[in-house]
């Protein structure tokens, strides 16, 4: 009963960069244990009964916000969705004041998404409740990185392989992608080989300093990888000079059925969503047998349940002592 | 550390429990074909699986075994130390089944309280009975065992260490007196 305990002491989840391999494994193990809850007729466990989780999203989100909400509910926490557009934030209230007011209402965890990198980190130093990063600027999206690794592990278990046996390609606008960054940290810490693929302007050679390979030629990488994680083309950046044209991008970096045919037969395709079908990924690939895109969504729930349990739990136990 | 049971004695205690269960099933006209065993992870799970084998010989039906993780149902779940859950593995529903809950040591009754809460999330059993290898003094909740391998009278500061293969190297039960006032997590 006490075999793997004590591996988690953090009240906050801000980045995967700062976690050790064993801390990442503790989250993934917890998520694996919690996966079963969503298959029951009563999809709930009482662990976080009486705890309050606030979703504080300063950027649009459908699946992450819903996933966190459902995850908190499955752990029996109460959830408040804080709509920034109708809140006092639009009247000029500072983030710190908003957070302190929420805390004064007895909140146990704040799940925050913000366009500025580093916001969750700053917030975590100003409040005594848990802070969970649901995406900050182009910095990190830790629960996405975790659910991607979780999905890869789930698939590897069928063939008895480990993360240290595989090679993962992350394809797209790497430099602006918080998903890429969180994936990169989790994968490399757990021993996987990672190649970042994208146009020179979005995937600079200097990223090799992070302990990964960098390539600008998707076709030369595909036959060698076990997993392809296709990033979303962020339309908000399409006007920048870094992005030549949609047609050129699709031609060079879009994952099509023809490209998939040149991959290993057991290759796994991931995409964090929302997808631009026909741009970075074709419908035939997204809906095909190699795609784990809907598994990612299902696994996201288990991963977020695990993160809420561990962070709120660590916060509660540290106050206890 | 003082030995309390060796492998042979553990096997004997399990045979005794199996006999008690069989008698109960016959006396109460229980539909044995619906019987299920649920072991509290991790020692209860091993004991439940061994009991299932013993009962199969008697009942001509091998009861399915579930492994119940009570971590998230414990009344001390958010007190130190935080435990990483192992997960529940139960590929059958408990609805309308006679169920035997199995654990190694019944002490405060808190684990069983948590287990009862967890089990009703898997359906509404016909009844739940409790089988334990050891029944020791120190109940804090009003819970009693129905089938008992051995009753032990040791003071509160003594820890009963249960080792069961394959989780541990071999089957044995030891008594460890501790000076500490607080007990180890069960």
Structural domains of chain B, ranges and CATH numbers in brackets: 2-74+88-177 (3.40.50.2020)
- The token pair that represents B82 in the structure block: 């935080």
Under 8 Å CB-to-CB from A43, ≥6 apart: which residues?
A37, A74
CATH no. for A142-297 = 3.40.50.1370
Distance CA B183, CA B138 (A): 12
Residues of A in contact with B72 (CB under 8 A): 45-47, 75, 309
Distance from CA of A271 to the nearest CA of B (A): 28
Interval B156-181 mean pLDDT: 90
Contact A316 B79 (CB under 8 A): yes
DSSP reduced 3-state for A32: helix
| Residue boundaries of the structural domains of chain A | 21-140+300-320, 142-297
Q: Digits of tens for pLDDT over chain A (321 positions)? A: 344 445 799 999 999 999 999 999 999 999 999 999 998 888 999 999 999 999 999 988 888 999 999 999 999 999 999 877 666 666 667 888 888 888 899 999 999 999 999 999 999 999 999 999 999 999 999 999 999 999 999 999 999 999 999 999 999 999 999 999 999 999 999 999 999 999 998 999 999 999 999 999 999 999 999 999 999 988 776 666 767 788 899 999 999 999 999 999 999 999 999 999 999 999 999 999 999 999 999 999 999 999 999 999 999 988 765
Helix-then-strand count for chain A, H and E: 11, 9
B185 and A1 in contact by Cβ < 8 A?
yes
Instruction: Determine contact: B84 vs chain A, CB below 8 A.
Output: yes
**Residues facing B158 on adjacent strands:** B177
* A44 touching B (Cβ < 8 Å): yes
CB within 8 Å of B3: residues ≥ 6 apart = B172, B173, B174, B175
Buried b (16+ CB within 10 A) or exposed e, A205-234: eebeeeebebbbebeebbeebbbbbbbbbb
Could you tell me the two tokens for A53?
């989780």
Q: Across B6-154, where does the E strand assignment appear?
A: 36-40, 65-68, 98-106, 127-136, 147-152
Tokens of A84: 């920034």
* Interface mutation target, options A4, A5, A11, chain B, most CBs of B under 10 Å: A5
A273 vs chain B: nearest CA distance in angstroms?
29
Considering the segment(s) A21-140+300-320 as one domain, its CATH architecture is 3-Layer(aba) Sandwich (3.40)
Tell me how close the Cα of B78 comes to any Cα of chain A, in angstroms.
5
Is there a contact between A243 and A172 (Cβ–Cβ < 8 Å)?
A: no
The pTM of the whole model exceeds 0.90: yes
d(CA A16, CA A28): 12
């Amino acid at each position: 009963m006490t075999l793997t305990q004590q591996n988690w002491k953090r009240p906050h989840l801000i980045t995967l960069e700062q976690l050790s391999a064993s801390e990442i494994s503790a989250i993934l193990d917890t998520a694996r244990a919690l996966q079963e809850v969503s298959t029951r007729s009563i999809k709930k466990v009482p662990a976080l009964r009486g705890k309050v989780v606030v979703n504080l999203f300063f950027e649009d989100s459908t699946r992450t916000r819903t996933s966190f909400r459902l995850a908190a509910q499955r752990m029996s926490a109460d959830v408040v969705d804080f709509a920034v557009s109708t809140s006092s934030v639009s009247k000029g209230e500072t983030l710190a004041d908003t957070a302190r007011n929420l805390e004064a209402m007895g909140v146990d965890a704040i799940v925050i998404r913000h366009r500025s990198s580093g916001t969750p980190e700053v917030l975590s130093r100003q409040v005594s409740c848990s802070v969970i990063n649901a995406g900050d600027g182009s910095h990190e999206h830790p629960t996405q990185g975790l659910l991607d690794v979780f999905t890869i592990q789930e698939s590897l278990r069928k063939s008895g392989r480990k993360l240290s046996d595989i090679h993962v390609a992350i394809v797209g606008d790497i430099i602006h992608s918080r998903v890429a960054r969180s994936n990169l940290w989790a994968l490399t810490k757990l021993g996987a080989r990672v190649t970042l693929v994208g146009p020179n302007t979005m995937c600079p050679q200097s990223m090799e300093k992070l302990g990964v390979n960098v390539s600008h030629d998707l076709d030369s990488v595909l036959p060698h990888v076990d997993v392809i994680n296709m990033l979303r083309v962020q339309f908000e950046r399409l006007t920048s000079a870094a992005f030549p044209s949609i047609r050129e991008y699709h031609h060079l970096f879009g994952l099509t059925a023809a490209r998939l045919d040149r991959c290993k037969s057991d290759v796994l395709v991931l995409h964090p969503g929302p997808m631009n079908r026909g741009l970075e990924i074709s419908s035939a690939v997204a809906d095909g047998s190699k795609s784990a895109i809907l598994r990612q969504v299902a696994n996201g729930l288990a991963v977020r349940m695990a993160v809420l349990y561990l962070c709120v739990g660590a916060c509660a136990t540290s106050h206890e002592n | 550390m003082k030995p309390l049971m060796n492998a042979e004695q553990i096997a004997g205690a399990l045979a005794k429990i199996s006999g008690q269960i069989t008698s109960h099933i016959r006396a109460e006209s229980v539909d044995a074909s619906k019987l299920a065993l649920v072991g509290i992870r991790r020692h209860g799970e091993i004991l439940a699986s061994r009991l299932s084998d013993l009962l199969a010989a008697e009942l001509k039906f091998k009861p399915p075994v579930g492994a119940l993780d009570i971590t998230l149902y414990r009344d001390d779940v958010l007190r130190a130390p935080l435990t990483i859950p192992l997960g529940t593995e139960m590929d059958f529903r408990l609805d309308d089944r006679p169920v035997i809950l199995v654990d190694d040591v019944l002490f405060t009754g808190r684990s069983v309280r948590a287990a009862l809460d967890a089990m009703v999330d898997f359906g509404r059993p016909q009844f739940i009975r409790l089988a334990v290898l050891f029944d020791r003094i120190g109940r804090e909740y009003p819970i009693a065992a129905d089938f008992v391998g051995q009753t032990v009278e040791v003071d509160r500061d003594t820890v009963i260490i249960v080792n069961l293969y394959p989780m541990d190297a071999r089957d044995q039960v030891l008594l460890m007196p501790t000076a500490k006032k607080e007990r180890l997590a069960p």
